[in-house]
Amino acid sequence: MEFDLVIVGAGSGGYEAGLYAHRRGMKVAFVELSPETVGGNCLNRGCIPSKYMRYGAYMIERFSHMSRYGILPKGFHLSMPHLKEGRDNVVRTIRENFKKFAQHLGIPIFYGKGFLKDPNTVVVEGADITLRSRFVLLATGSSTVSVGGMVADGRYIHDTDTIWNLEEFPKRVVIVGGGAVGVEFAYIFRMYGADVTLTELKDRLLPMAGIPEESSRFLARKLKKLGIDIKLKTTVNHYEKTEEGLKVSFTDGTQLTTDIILLAVGRKPNTEGFKETGIEMDERGFVVVDKHCRTNLPSVYACGDITSPLMLAHKAMYEGKVAVSHMLGDEGWEKNDTLMPKIIYSAYEVASVGLTEDEAEDEGYHVRVGVVSFVTNPKAMDDGENEGFVRVVVEERTKRILGCHILGPNAGELLHQVIHAMKAGLGADFMSRSVYSHPSLSEAIGQASMEVHFGPITWTKRS
Amino acid sequence: MEFDLVIVGAGSGGYEAGLYAHRRGMKVAFVELSPETVGGNCLNRGCIPSKYMRYGAYMIERFSHMSRYGILPKGFHLSMPHLKEGRDNVVRTIRENFKKFAQHLGIPIFYGKGFLKDPNTVVVEGADITLRSRFVLLATGSSTVSVGGMVADGRYIHDTDTIWNLEEFPKRVVIVGGGAVGVEFAYIFRMYGADVTLTELKDRLLPMAGIPEESSRFLARKLKKLGIDIKLKTTVNHYEKTEEGLKVSFTDGTQLTTDIILLAVGRKPNTEGFKETGIEMDERGFVVVDKHCRTNLPSVYACGDITSPLMLAHKAMYEGKVAVSHMLGDEGWEKNDTLMPKIIYSAYEVASVGLTEDEAEDEGYHVRVGVVSFVTNPKAMDDGENEGFVRVVVEERTKRILGCHILGPNAGELLHQVIHAMKAGLGADFMSRSVYSHPSLSEAIGQASMEVHFGPITWTKRS
């Protein structure tokens, strides 16, 4: 069969690229492992089900602050079967609609493992199908890895492949890894009633590039307040099964007994066998692509988790469209990791784009930072959720925005205003003179931008 | 006393202008009626306390959809004293901090009615104070009006001056006026347990310029579903006090008995006596200002509710800064009613900026509209709140964004992305190629922008 574009992997990146290519007139086909894996990790075992559970956790927390709204709850029961059914229903609905919609548009999905035979041929293993195509997009995603000899058994030891199968809420949880997945699940399990211990090898939570220490500290303070035990510079040293549960020893010398351990550690790109097909790879196993997401084989492109350790669904979606756009002759749309937001949903929404203040200084910029707290934001006060801040990092001379870091209510949506501004090259001057509705959380962005010009003018303490 | 700028009215517009002028080095003074009115109508009797109560209403509604998150509430009591205390506490906190902060910055507030004696002199009536100033900014706001012979008595008949004093939740409410205030309070009272009848003289709710019929219809459908009786092309004809309550006759011939009537009708500008000071006024009682918010008296500026019937706090705040900026010699920052968002918090957030499709066509534009439903938005599905839409109205040839209309979760914050884009002259092409995190509500904006180029591609029905 002949196509303009065959996409190996119908996850976030592949699917989005396929729809975009179809819109732009290409004849497209998907190759995906099985009907159950359409949508990829994000949909089936990642951002979508975790955000669902996080919303429940967030609502439990909100319920405990309702008396000031004249709402005096009599309490509530918690039920994992209800939660699971609701969550799986959302995942299934999105996945089935993906498939139905592809069918409706006339885009075939071939099930099996896709294998690049030559730069214009994809073989679907097991299905005995050979697809010829002008272009190929590799969008095969990533997989969980084990750490420190701990392998997920789906009963005592979980990773993000197995954690969804829990039949009831655990009473005691140890989480290994204080990155995005770790802090999200720490909050979820805590609000659903567990004693939670969160360990992180580095000296702070969310120890990733692009997230300022202020956000890590602020989040850690809140998680502690909610009763989560955070152990930094620590990991699990050893564990054994006992009658009371898993007896865990940590590298800091402490011990405890838990019901489960969740491994919230790194992932590896699904690029096994790629090298043999002639695709240039780096030493870590990632595909080497140019700014248009093209590999060393001119007809073969790659996007998402296999192009760099920045494993974000929207990075994959963006790169997929950049690739398709370039196949069609556009030169102007380029991949851009700096603009990829990092958004974490834990006890707060933690949202970052671009450089932190420290990173910008390390890169030689003269930096100014505008900081505004949500404490005094009228909309945040109305909503009873006025913790957090907006930090806008700006190049002193040009007022160009180098980064923005928001922690607090709706941070993940608010950040988009700054993402667009950064992409368009609009500076803090523009943002300070734009229009913000009153009352709105967005006003804090305008105020932080104004601080950059005029210095701090605020009656709240800095965060 | 000599100042660079005396501001008559320390409401949203005046206060924001004063802070901005102070930042830019001007010696500023406020004149305000009394310590209790600092912050103006928005803070004390408008957007801030109403958004507070709306948040409680919204939470009550959310509680009824929690079983899918494994949260099974045992019910709740409602308590007006708790609600009132929380609400008044927020209002008081903001107001007192306003005052403290002005004091901290060395900006005096003179209490009494400010009166323009000549273009450089403000007299504070009652306080026997005369202030000389290089510039004067009039920011005196607006007042409630009565309608159809109904005058607020604070017991049976309420307006937005008196409704805050209710000591308990009414069981039966009639609301006169289906504009922003009417639909907000209809939702609030309904969720707090009342039978609500909402009347509107025109043939739809929110019958204002800039809000599309789609938003009105969508909101009306939801309010009806919540049990609110909506009577269009109808108002109160007559009422009389009986033992059972207020017996109300409507112009459609129907009758009912209610506890209270809330007048949610227009407001009039506070410009009494302005004409006598030589300021040019229009026939409706508004101050005539140029694009820099300057009146016919070169040293006198005006902002907010007294400059046009578009009575929005953020319009006042924006105009106040435009005025100050012009006093300091900037010519580039101009008032712009088209960019002023209209954001209503009812059973949905309803947010609009710029022109509706119909208005754009009436103005002679060839229009394209991109529409995306929240039904299929993964973040909205995760949050269990996936009703509503994003409509982007674009000029066909240039792809310039003429307006945007969002109804649904966080519409009021999401809209800011498009406000900034419109202000910067960025088109739908830019918005379709920008970065959106996944999952996010913001993705719907990118998708609606993409529809403008390529036409609809979606598996949900249009709203």
pLDDT in tens, A109-157: 999 999 999 999 999 997 889 999 999 999 999 999 987 788 899 999 9
Share above pLDDT 70 across residues of chain B, in percent, rounded to a whole number: 98
Closest by Cβ to A71, choosing from B76, B105, B423: B76
pLDDT of residue A461: 42
**What pLDDT sits at residue A457?**
63
CB A70 to CB B52 under 8 A? no
For residue B228, pLDDT over 70 is answered with yes
- Report pLDDT digits (tens) over A404-461: 999 999 999 999 999 999 999 999 999 999 999 999 999 999 999 999 888 766 544 4
DSSP-derived 3-state class of residue B115? strand
Note whether A439 contacts B413, CB cutoff 8 Å: no
Q: Check if B438 is active-site.
A: yes
pLDDT at B456: 66
State the smallest CA–CA distance between residue B48 and chain A in angstroms: 7
When pLDDT is averaged across residues A390-414 and rounded to a whole number, the result is: 97
Kindly report, residue by residue over A158-202, the tens digit of the pLDDT. 999 999 999 999 999 999 999 999 999 999 999 999 999 999 999
pLDDT higher than 90, residue B459:
no
Question: Which chain A residues contact residue B384 at CB under 8 A?
Answer: 55, 86
pLDDT of residue B73: 87
pLDDT of A51 reads: 98
Q: Does residue A73 have a pLDDT over 90? A: no
* Helix (H) / strand (E) containing B180: helix B180-191
Report the C-alpha gap between A397 and A266 in whole angstroms: 39
Which residues 6+ apart lie within 8 Å of B147 measured at CB?
B176, B177, B235, B263, B265, B266
Interface A–B counts its CB contacts (< 8 A) at 289
What is residue A180's predicted lDDT score, i.e. its pLDDT? 97
Amino acid identity at B458 = T
Name the residue among B89, B382, B430 with its Cβ closest to that of A55.
B382
Predicted confidence at residue B454, as pLDDT, reads 80
Write out chain A in H/E/C secondary structure: CEEEEEEECCCHHHHHHHHHHHHCCCCEEEEECCCCCCCHHHHHHCHHHHHHHHHHHHHHHHHCCCHHHCEEECCEEECHHHHHHHHHHHHHHHHHHHHHHHHHHCCCEEECEEEEEECCEEEEECCCEEEEEEEEEECCCEEECCECCECCCCCCEECCCCHHHCCCCCCEEEEECCCHHHHHHHHHHHHCCCEEEEEECCCCCCCCCCCCHHHHHHHHHHHHHCCCEEEECCCEEEEEEECCEEEEEECCCCEEEECEEEECCCEEECCCCCHHHCCCECCCCCECCCCCCECCCCCEEECHHHCCCCCCHHHHHHHHHHHHHHHCCCCCCCCCHHHCCEEEECCCEEEEEECCHHHHHHCCCCEEEEEEEHHHCHHHHHCCCCCCEEEEEEECCCCEEEEEEEECCCHHHHHHHHHHHHHHCCEHHHHHHCCCCCCCCCHHHHHHHHHHHHCCCCCCCCC
Q: How confident is the model at residue B462 (pLDDT cuts 50, 70, 90)?
A: very low
Q: A166 vs chain B: nearest CA distance in angstroms?
A: 13
Which ipTM score applies to this complex?
0.97
Query: How much is the average pLDDT of B103-116?
Result: 96
Q: Are B88 and B53 in contact (CB under 8 A)?
A: no
What is the C-alpha separation between B82 and B102, in angstroms, rounded? 30
Model confidence at A238: pLDDT above 80: yes
In this prediction, residues A298-317 reach a mean pLDDT of 97
At A14-28, the pLDDT tens digits run 999 999 999 999 999
| pLDDT at position A462 over 80 | no
Distance from CA of B81 to the nearest CA of A (A): 7
Closest residue in chain B to residue A442, using alpha carbons only: B413
User: Does residue B350 register a pLDDT over 80?
Assistant: yes
Mean pLDDT for B429-458 is: 91
Identify which of A55, A426, A430 has the shortest CB distance to residue B383: A55
At A227 the pLDDT is 98
User: Which of A60, A318, A442 is facing B71, going by the closest CB pair?
Assistant: A60
Indicate yes or no: CB of A72 within 8 angstroms of CB of B82: yes
* Residue ranges of B 118-157 with Cβ closer than 8 A to chain A: none
Average pLDDT value for residue range B151-177:
96
Q: Tell me the pLDDT band of A266, cut-offs 50, 70 and 90.
A: confident
pLDDT in tens, B141-152: 999 998 778 889
Domains of chain A (ranges; CATH) run 2-142+268-337 (3.50.50.60), 157-265 (3.50.50.60), 348-454 (3.30.390.30)
Q: Are A77 and B74 inside 8 Å of each other by CB?
A: yes
Which positions ≥6 away from B145 have C-beta within 8 Å? B265, B266, B267, B268
- Residue A181 annotated in ligand binding: yes
Q: Do A340 and B435 touch (CB under 8 A)?
A: yes
Digit-coded pLDDT (tens) for B276-301 = 999 999 999 999 999 999 999 999 99
pLDDT-based confidence at residue B127 (cuts at 50, 70, 90): confident
Q: For position B220, what pLDDT does the model report?
A: 98
Look at B126 and B170; give whichever has higher pLDDT.
Answer: B170
